């Protein structure tokens, strides 16, 4: 059992938890994810890591209550326990693989939307710890839906934009990125994490601007082991699975339209059967095609 040390509601239907998991905390890096089970009968929930503390032996998660299992998870309080916390899973951020000297030469921007704001935080924090500055653009529909603002202000140059103009800049994250670019911020690297449609249009813009862009495909993960076929996607013409090959990929090579269409089909039993019939041996991540 994994004890919950903190549990807070950040905003409507979005909850933050700090969980005691020393072995996970000791091994994880920014960009990776966990598999959570609320109880012995619960479904597996893949959640990206929002933060970790190796000394305290804790990991932090942020979850949006949108289904039965995430609703059960969000109802837990400090002092309660989770049946399983498995991880770290997935590959760490590509930034962790570069030399610090090279990172310091780059102007890096993160684009965060919705719950995707959570996995951006550990990457920005990790860069700050290495002495690397970065910009972060957080996008939300309205001021009330902005999360982790105070924590971001400590680790990056923060820019907030809201769809309704109620806080920060006005408009979508793509408009904020274009404005910052026009103001003289010539970025060398971009990381975008958020809703699929947001990442698609961020990549469209960064391709026009010539900014290499990494996206996290965690929104399409279900099982987290590559066996369910939910997170199958095409990257540069090749079959990949977000949970075992990612979750981060070159955003300019991801077929977003295909991935979003698969997400819609996967929600129904008939849709899942159709995908399995069409995709054959490449439907599951365990087929070897993801290597």
Q: Residue ranges of the domains in the chain?
A: 2-89, 94-216, 217-291
Inform me whether the pLDDT recorded for 161 exceeds 60: yes
pLDDT at 272: 60
Mean pLDDT of 53-65: 93
Inform me whether the pLDDT recorded for 283 exceeds 60: no
pLDDT tens digits for 72-88?
Answer: 999 999 999 999 998 89
Tokens of 288: 């070897």
Judge if 2-89 and 94-216 fold alike in CATH terms: no
Give CA–CA dist 54/39, Å, rounded.
25
Give CA–CA dist 177/174, Å, rounded.
5
Convert 134-143 to b/e letters by CB count within 10 Å (16 or more is b): bbbbbbbeee
pLDDT tens digits for 26-36?
Answer: 999 999 999 88
| Contact yes or no for 71/239 (Cβ under 8 A) | no
In CATH terms, the fold of domain 2-89 is Elongation Factor Tu (Ef-tu); domain 3 (2.40.30)
What is the CB-side half-sphere exposure of residue 69 using CA atoms within 13 A? 17
Give CA–CA dist 9/279, Å, rounded.
40
| Contact yes or no for 218/33 (Cβ under 8 A) | yes
Tokens of 92: 């760490």
In CATH terms, the fold of domain 94-216 is Rossmann fold (3.40.50)
């Amino acid at each position: 059992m994994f004890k919950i040390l903190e549990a807070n509601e950040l905003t409507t239907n979005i909850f933050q938890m700090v969980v005691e998991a020393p072995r996970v905390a000791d091994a994880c890096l920014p960009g990776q994810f966990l598999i959570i089970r609320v109880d012995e009968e619960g479904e597996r929930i893949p959640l990206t890591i929002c933060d970790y503390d190796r000394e305290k032996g804790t990991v932090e998660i942020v979850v949006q209550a949108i289904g039965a299992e995430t609703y059960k998870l969000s109802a837990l309080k400090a002092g309660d326990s989770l049946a399983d916390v498995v991880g770290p899973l997935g590959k760490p951020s590509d930034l962790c693989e570069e030399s610090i000297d090279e990172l310091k030469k780059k102007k890096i921007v993160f684009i965060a939307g919705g719950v995707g704001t959570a996995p951006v935080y550990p990457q920005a924090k990790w860069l700050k710890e290495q002495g690397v500055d970065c910009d972060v653009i957080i996008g939300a529909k309205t001021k009330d839906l902005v999360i982790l603002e105070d924590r971001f202000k400590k680790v990056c140059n923060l820019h907030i934009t809201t769809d309704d103009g109620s806080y920060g800049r006005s408009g979508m994250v793509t408009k904020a990125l274009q404005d910052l670019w026009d103001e003289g911020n010539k970025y060398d690297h971009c990381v975008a994490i958020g809703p699929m449609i947001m990442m698609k249009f961020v990549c469209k813009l960064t391709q026009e601007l010539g900014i290499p862009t990494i996206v996290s495909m965690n929104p399409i993960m279900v099982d987290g082991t590559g066996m369910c076929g939910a997170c199958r996607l095409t990257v540069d013409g090749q079959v990949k699975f977000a949970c075992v090959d990612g979750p981060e990929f070159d955003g300019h090579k991801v077929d977003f339209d295909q991935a979003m269409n698969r997400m819609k089909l996967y929600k129904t039993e008939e849709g899942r059967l159709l995908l399995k019939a069409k995709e054959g041996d490449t439907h599951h991540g365990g087929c070897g095609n993801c290597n």
